[in-house]
Structure formats: C-alpha cells, structure tokens
Amino acid sequence: MKKILFVITGLMLGGAETQFFNLVSSLRNKFDVKVVNFTGGFFVAKFEKLGIPVKTIKVGSKFGFFKAVFNLKKFIECEKPDLVHSFLPHSNIVCKVVRVLSKHRFKLVCSVRVKEVKFFLQNLGERLLDFCCDIVTVNSRSTRDFLVKFLFFKKDKIKVVFNGLFFKKSKVIKIFPGKKKVLTLANFRKQKDYVTNVKTCEELLKLRDDFVFLFAGNGPLLGKIKRLVNKKNLDKYIKFLGSRSDAPDLLRSCDVFFLPTLYEGQCNALIEAMHYKCPIVTTDIPENKEILENMKEALLVSVRSPKEMAFAIDELLNNKKLKDKLIHNAFKKSGLFSVDKMVSSYERIYKGLLN
C-alpha cells in the first residue's frame, strides 16, 4: 500500500481543515495515511479516533519555520512516504523546502485554498519554490486564474478540484422564536468582512425590526466585532453564537444565510447553505459567481455595500416566491460538491504521479 503523508498548518475548526479531514479520512483504507500539523486543534482527536496517526510539531517561536523544516525533514526521512500532500501556504512552503533538503525522494502535491491577495511575501515564497512541487491543486477556477495571471504559475501544473462535503441529517431547532433569523457561519477574519455585516444590520433596521443577526464562529477579530456591536447599541439585534457543531440545524432553522465575504477559495458554508435550504445573500466575487448565479441560486451583491445587502435580505424575507426558487435551484446544484467526487479527483492525481 502506497504511503501518503498529509501536512497542514493546523487542525482547528475551519473550512480548509474540514476539507482536509474529509479527504484524509476517506482515503484511510486505500492508502497508508499519516498527518503532520504545526499547531494542533479540533481535528486531532477526530483523526486519532479513526486510527489515523497525527504528529504535531509545535512552532510557536520566531524560529518556528526552521523548526518545522528540520522536524518535518527528519519525520519524512524516517517514514519514507511515496507522496506528500500539503494544505495552506505555510505548510506548502515548508514542504517545498523539505523536498529540496531531504535525502528521501517523494512526490509533492500542494493545495492553494484561497486567493491570499494581500500576502505578498507568502505568495512570493510559494511561487519561487514552485519548481519543488509536482502538482498544485485549487478549489476554484478563479483561484487558478489568479495564480496564473498574477503569480505566473504554469497553468498546466494546476488542477481544479471542487470542495466535497459530507451532508448530515438536519432538523429545525427552536432559536430566537418570533424573529427573522439572518445567519453568518464564518470565522472572524478580515476576509469575511464582519464590519460590513454589522453595518448591514444597521441598514436593515431602517426597513424593519423583527429580525436578529446570528454570528456563528470564532477567530482573531471576534473581540473587535463585539466591541463594535456594543458601541453601536446593536446587542439586541446581533447575537454571537461561538463555534458551533450543529451548522446543518442552524441553516435549516434560519431565514437567510448572509456572507459579505471579500474573497474566497471555495466556501464550504455557502455549499452547506445550498444543501440545507437556507436562501443566500452573498457577494458577487468571482469565487462565489462560480457556484452561484444571481437570482437563480442566490442574491449576489457588491462587496462592502451595506445598503444593497440590507435590501437583498429584506427582499428574501418578504418575497416567498423568490425565496422558494433560490432554495430549489441551490439545493439541486449542491449535489456537485460531494466528498466522493472530490476524493475521486484526488485519487486520479495521486495515481498519476505514483505510477
């Protein structure tokens, strides 16, 4: 059985980490799989429960990059994997350097999960070391086009593999009864633009007051957004739910899924909203337009446009015919994003390299 080592920056609860878990757990009976990460987190216990070995290399100091390279090189030379697959920029760069330094020869697949448009040094590092990598995988055509146009990656080296999700059974739960519920499932990072989310709540208050915004997630900007909500006296209309493991139930129980994101790779939360029949208002960025058509599967609005966003949310809350149409079309399309399809695509890539 061929050995594959999967490397990721961390295993906290997030979109890329969920895709990583879905992929590795689905391959455990087809390949000899092991996992390395650099921070630990939520998915460590889930991997270990499945019998998948996880090694955590803690890299908290300013010399963390060198520690990661040294320890990963040592681990690879001991385990001798046939192929290494890395997720996320830090892991990609570490694995590329290790491939140059290691005495053990292995194939390398690197996954770019999102257009990190503002991280110049990170992008430069990925590009300069691209010669170390056999295949680059991305989860959207727009990310592929970004890598080719702006970072000069070779197009024929990039493979597009859509995200794949396990869709669980869901149920309607009682939460804020009597209120129209506008749900955002996203970690508190600049990319998700929670500031505009709060401004949209203000704008919607000019149209109606029978609603509550629900923010489900965690992250570095959580404290800042809580202070902003408090400063604007919106505590009655914006509720923080923290990290949730019942996303399907939340989506089934809310009236609108709202995501004012600035950029993406391919958003798991949007796909979940499509499947669990929560009508969507989100931004008209290329990544979202790749999976959602305006007025067909969602309402797409301009980035950083609170008034436009508020009007779109209000329209869905008022217009049942439009809401039902979007739900029907989005649910039908969500079938494109199954774990089986994603895993089959990666298997073809691995076998092509290993053979």
Say whether both 241 and 95 belong to one domain.
no
Give residue 245's pLDDT: 87
Say whether both 93 and 214 belong to one domain.
no
- Single out the residue of 290, 292, 272 nearest to residue 282, CA to CA: 292
Average pLDDT over residues 30-56: 96
From residue 300, alpha-carbon distances to 7, 54, 304 in Å are: 35, 40, 12
Say whether both 151 and 12 belong to one domain.
yes
pLDDT tens-place string over residues 195-204: 999 999 999 9
Check: CB of residue 11 under 8 Å from CB of residue 41: yes
Average pLDDT over residues 231-235: 98
- Please provide the DSSP assignment of 56-121 as one string: E----STTHHHHHHHHHHHHHHHH--SEEEEESHHHHHHHHHHHHH-SS--EEEEEE-S--TT-HH
Check: CB of residue 273 under 8 Å from CB of residue 248: no
Average pLDDT over residues 272-292: 96
* Band of residue 62 on the pLDDT scale cut at 50, 70, 90: low
How many C-beta neighbours within 10 Å does residue 37 have?
27
* Band of residue 15 on the pLDDT scale cut at 50, 70, 90: confident
Say whether both 102 and 191 belong to one domain.
no
Average pLDDT over residues 252-281: 95
Say whether both 201 and 96 belong to one domain.
no
**Radius of gyration (Cα) for the chain, nearest Å?**
21
Say whether both 13 and 112 belong to one domain.
yes
Q: How many structural domains compose the chain?
A: 2
| From 40-49, 146-155, 208-217, 337-346, the region with the lowest mean pLDDT | 146-155
- Single out the residue of 72, 76, 140 nearest to residue 107, CA to CA: 76
- Single out the residue of 55, 1, 53 nearest to residue 25, CA to CA: 53
| From 56-60, 173-177, 246-250, the region with the lowest mean pLDDT | 56-60
Check: CB of residue 116 under 8 Å from CB of residue 88: no
Instruction: Give the domain extent around 249.
Output: 180-336
**Domain contains 64:** yes
Give residue 264's pLDDT: 85
Average pLDDT over residues 220-225: 97
pLDDT tens-place string over residues 89-130: 899 999 999 999 999 999 999 999 876 655 566 667 788 888
Contacts 24+ apart (CB under 8 A), 28-33: 28/52, 30/347, 31/1, 31/2, 31/3, 31/4, 31/350, 32/1, 32/2, 32/3, 32/4, 33/3, 33/4, 33/5, 33/6
Compute the distance between CA of residue 110 and CA of residue 7 in angstroms, rounded to an integer: 9
Say whether both 89 and 22 belong to one domain.
yes
- In this predicted model, which residue has the larger pLDDT, 264 or 137? 137
pLDDT at 31 over 70: yes
Return mean pLDDT, the chain: 94
Say whether both 18 and 151 belong to one domain.
yes
Say whether both 67 and 192 belong to one domain.
no
pTM of the predicted protein model? 0.83
The domain that holds 147 is classified in CATH as: 3.40.50.2000
Angle between helix 120-128 and helix 89-101 axes, rounded to 10 deg:
30
pLDDT tens-place string over residues 328-344: 999 999 999 999 999 99
Structure tokens at 349: 């890539």
Say whether both 139 and 188 belong to one domain.
no
Structure tokens at 314: 């209000």
Give residue 63's pLDDT: 63
Classify burial at 270, counting beta carbons within 10 Å of its beta carbon; exposed 0-12, middle 13-18, buried 19 or more: buried
Check: CB of residue 115 under 8 Å from CB of residue 265: yes
Say whether both 265 and 118 belong to one domain.
no
